[in-house]
Chain A
Amino acid sequence: MIAPVNVSRRVFLKSGAAVAVALSAGGIRLEAYASENAQEVFAGWVEVKPDNSILILFPSTEMGQGSETALPQILADELDADWDQVSIQQLDEDDRRFGNPAFGKILYTAGSSAVYGYFDVLRQAGATLRDMIRTRAAAEWEVDTATVATGKNRVTHAPSGRSMTYGEVVALPDFTETALLTPATLKTHEQYTLIGKRVPRRDIPAKSTGKAQYAIDVRVPDMLYATVLRSPVEGESVASLNDEKARATRDVVDVVTLPDGVAVMAKTLHASFAGRAALDVRWTETSPFRKYSSTATLAAYTKAAEGKADGAAWSTHGDVKAGLARASRSFDAVYTSDYAYHAQIEPMAAVASVDADGKGAEIWVGTQTQSWTTRTATEVLGTTPDRIRLNMMTMGGGFGRRTELMQNYLRDALLCSKKANQPVKVVWSREDDLKFGAFRPAAAQYLKAGIDDNGVLTVLHHRVATPSVIEYFNPIRWQQVDPNDIISMRGAESKFYDIPDFLAEHIKTERHARILPWRGIGAAYTSFAAEAFLDEVATEAGVDPLDFRRSIMENNARGTALIDRVEEMAASVPLAEGRGRGFAFAGYGDTQAAGIVEISVNESAGTIRVHHVWIAVDAGQIVSPDNALNQIEGGVLWGVSSALFERVTITDGQVDQQNFFNYTILRNNQSPAIDVYVAENNEKPTQIGEAGNPLVPPAIANAFFALTGRRIRHQPLTPDRVREALA
C-alpha cells in the first residue's frame, strides 16, 4: 500500500538540500525538529548530502563492543547506502529523541542492548529515507515508484536506463516535501546487503595504530592535572588536612578539599602524584562501613539465603512448596560468590573545563551514558543541560563500570576546574581504580530442587541473597523498578527451562561495599549457582547432564539445538588423559548459550587449567558476525578469568587488593582454545556482548566434579578452595 503520510508540519529539516529523518521508537511517526538548519546542528538519524556522502548518527557509546559500526550498518542497509560513503557521528548530548528504546529512551549503553534496542528504529529510519528517495526520483522521471530500484547510493530506472545518485535526488527541488510511503518498505532478510555480513569495524584501524583517543588521553590548552586522595572507607570525609608539603612540591598549583577526598592540582601529572603522596590527611573515621569485612558479609548473606524470610519474587510460576512436597526426591545446596572488580584497562579519568561563570562546562568523558554524565555535570554545577558541552570518548573498557547516575571522577574534574578557573584532567591510578572501585556484589544463594520418578526436574526454588545494585547506583531507576532488580537477579529466572513449580526470589541484603553492574550482571553468579546445582541434581538423578536439560526443554527447540550442536562440537575432539569436561546452559537475557569446557587440575598447586571451550549461541539475527564471534570469545575468557581468579576482599571497610599483582585477571598463556558456533536465523536480534561469560564458571565447576568427584560451590575456584575440596 502506498499512501502519503499526513505531514501537517514540516517534518524534515530545511537545510539546503540535506535531509534528516527522525523516527520515534514506537514506529514510523515522524517527529518535528526544533532546528531549521542541519548544517549547524546534526539533528537526525541520517543525513544524505548533495555530494552523495551519508552521515549516520551513532546514539550509543563505544566501549569495545562494536556498536559504533553495527548500529549504522543496520540503517545503511535499509537505506541501500554505499557503505564506503557512510561516515558515522557519535551523539554527544543527552538528546532523548535518540534514547535507547530498551532503556526507556535514556541514552544508556548497557545490558548488551544496543543492537536489539535500536534495531527496529534504525531499520525504519533507513527504509523511510530510501522510500523518499525512490519516490522523488520517480516523480522526477515521471515513472511509477515501484519501478525505481536502489543500491549503493543510487536510484535506477531500468526500463529507461536512467539513474541518479542519492545526492542528486536530495538536491532536487522540494525533496523534503516528498510524500512518504507507509508503512516504510522494509527489506526481507534475503535482501540484506550489510546486516549479517562481514563489515570491518570502523574503530579498529585507529586502535591498531595508537591513534584512538580515550578520555585519559585528552589534553587541552592550559590544562592542569589532578589526582585525588580519597577517604579509604566509604562515607567519610576530611577531618584535618596538612597540605604544606604537597603545596611545596614542584609544579603543584593548588590543593582542593572534595566531599570525600583531597585533590592536588599541578602543572604535570608527575607533580600531582608527588604532591598527593605528600598530603597528610586525617579522616573522620565515623563510617558504619568500617565494621564490614567481606568474610563476615558473605557469612551474613549465606544466613539470609538459608533463612525462611520471603524475598521479593523475581520470577515465579506454580507452587514450589507443593512441588517439593510432591517430588520423589529433593536436594539443596548453598552457592557463594565473592566481590569482583571490572579491571577495565583504562582507569577512570575525565577532563572538565568549567566556564568563567561556573554554570557551564565542556567535558571529555568515557561513559556508557550521555544522560547520566550530563546529569552529573548539571547536578554538580547547578545548571541546565544546554550549558554542558559533552565530548564522548571511546572507552578503554566499560563492562558496567561507567554507568553510574553520579560519576565521581567527572564530579571531581568539574569541582577542580571551577576552583582553578582552568581545564583540569582527573586521572585515577590503578590503585585508585581498584580501591575505589564498585564491584559485582558478593552473593549467597540457596537452591532447592525436586525430581520425579523419572529423574526429571519438576521444582526449583532459587533464593539469591545479595544487595540491590540498582538501589545504590541509580536511585532514580530504583524508584521505578523497586523491588525488581534486574542487575542483582538476572539469570535466576532460568527461563529457558520448563519447570512446573518455580520460584526465584531476591533476599535483599545490606550493602557493605560500592557495587555496580558487571559484565553479565546477576547471571555472572546466578547462572553459576543454578547450573552447577542442576549438574548436582542430574548426577544424583543418575541422568546425563545434557539429557537432564533436554528433559526440561521440550518446548525450546532453539535451545535444544544448541545443546545438540555443542555436544557434537566437543565430541569431535577426544577427551585428553587426565582431563574432565563440564557442561552448562546459560545465556543472557533472551540469548541462549550452551557450553562445554575441558579442564585439568594441578592438585598440589590447587590450580585449574581450562584447555578448551566449545560454545553454541543463539542470538537471533546477527548484525555483525565477525564481531559477534569476537564478543563471544571475549565473554568466554571473561568467564574463565572470573571463575578461576577474580576476587575482591574487604577488611574493615577497605579493599585489600591494590593492583594486578593481587587482583589477577587471565593472561594470554592461560587462555583456552575456543570454538564458537553462532546460530544463523532471522529471529529478532538479542544480546551478544554478555552471552559468553555466564555459562563458563558453572561449566568449569562441573568439569571439576567430572574430573575429581568433588564440588566447589564458591566462586572463584581459587587454589585454596581447590585444595580444600580435594582434601
Chain B
Amino acid sequence: MISFTLNGKKVETDADPDTMLLIFLREELGLTGTKYGCGAAMCGACMIHMQGAPMFSCQITLARVAGMNIKTIEGLSENDDHPLQKAWIEEQVPQCGYCQSGQIMRAAALLDSNESPSEEEIRNWMSSNLCRCGTYNRIVKAVQRAASEMSS
C-alpha cells in the first residue's frame, strides 16, 4: 500500500509500485489535466509539483511518491483562478492546449521562487516544456502578466 498527498487529500493505492505517477493520475484517478507527451522528460506535458518542485510525472514511480505531497493542475487553484490561469485566458495563450497544463505548472513553480523573473529567466525556465503550436511568446507574456498581478 502506497500513500501520498494529492492536491491536499490523502491517496492510498495498492497499484503496481512501478507504475508511473503520470499513468496513475490519468488512468486510475481520472486526473487527465496532466498529459502524456513523450514519457522521456523531454516535453513537460506531464509537469506536476512534488514537495513544491516542478517534476516530470512520467519519470516518477508510485514507489517514489510514498509520503510525498503532489500537486496537479486540478489542485493549482480553488476556482480555476490562479493568476497564471487568468493570465493564460487574458493573453489567449492556448491553441491546441495539450501542453498548457504542463506549461502552467512549470510557470507556477517559477513564480513561487521568483516574483519578477526577467524575460530571459522565463524563457530559460520554460524551455523544459514543448509547445508544438508555437505559443511560446504568449506564454512569456502571460507569465509576466501573472507575475505583475501577484506582486501588486
Contacts and interface: CB of A to CB of B under 8 A. Distances in A.
B95 A64 contact: yes
Nearest to A250: B16
Nearest to B40: A659
Contacts of B23: 268-270
A141 interface: no
Nearest to A63: B96
A207 B42 contact: no
Interface string B115-152: 00000101110110111111111111000000000000
Contacts of A637: 134, 136
B45 to A, nearest CB: 6
B98 A205 contact: no
Interface in B80-94: 80, 85, 88-89, 92-94
Interface string A382-395: 00000000000011
A572 interface: no
Contacts of B26: 217
A209 interface: yes
Contacts, number: 185
Contacts of B35: 214, 216, 345-346, 396
B131 A345 contact: yes
A430 B56 CA distance: 15
Interface residues of B, number: 60
B95 A660 contact: no
Contacts of A251: 16
Nearest to A660: B42
**Chain B residues touching A, majority SS:** loop
Contacts of B134: 633-638, 641, 666, 671
A212 B97 contact: yes
A9 interface: no
A668 B136 contact: yes
Contact of A214 (B88, B98, B130): B98
Contact of A396 (B33, B98, B127): B98
Given A207-B97, A269-B23, A633-B137, A660 B132 contact: no
A250 B18 CA distance: 12
Given A205-B89, A208-B100, A630 B42 contact: no
A268 B27 CA distance: 7
A665 B132 contact: yes
Contacts of B122: 668
Contacts of A630: 92, 95, 135, 138
Interface stretch (A106-114, A196-204, A324-332): A196-204
A41 to B, nearest CB: 30
B141 to A, nearest CB: 11
Interface in A613-671: 626-627, 630-631, 633-638, 641, 659-661, 665-671
B57 interface: no
B92 A633 contact: no
Contacts of B131: 345, 668
A609 to B, nearest CB: 13
B73 interface: yes
A314 B136 CA distance: 37
A268 B19 contact: yes
Interface string A659-690: 11100011111110110000000000000000
A64 B95 CA distance: 4
A205 B130 contact: no
Interface in A491-507: none
Nearest to B85: A208
Contacts of B104: 208
A461 to B, nearest CB: 34
A204 B94 CA distance: 6
A323 interface: no
Contacts of A13: none
A688 B98 CA distance: 21
A344 B80 contact: no
B97 A429 contact: no
A351 B63 CA distance: 29
8 contacts: A64-B95, A268-B23, A346-B35, A347-B36, A397-B132, A659-B40, A660-B130, A665-B132
List 4 A-B pairs, minimum CB-CB distance, nearest first. Answer: A210-B33, A207-B97, A64-B96, A396-B98
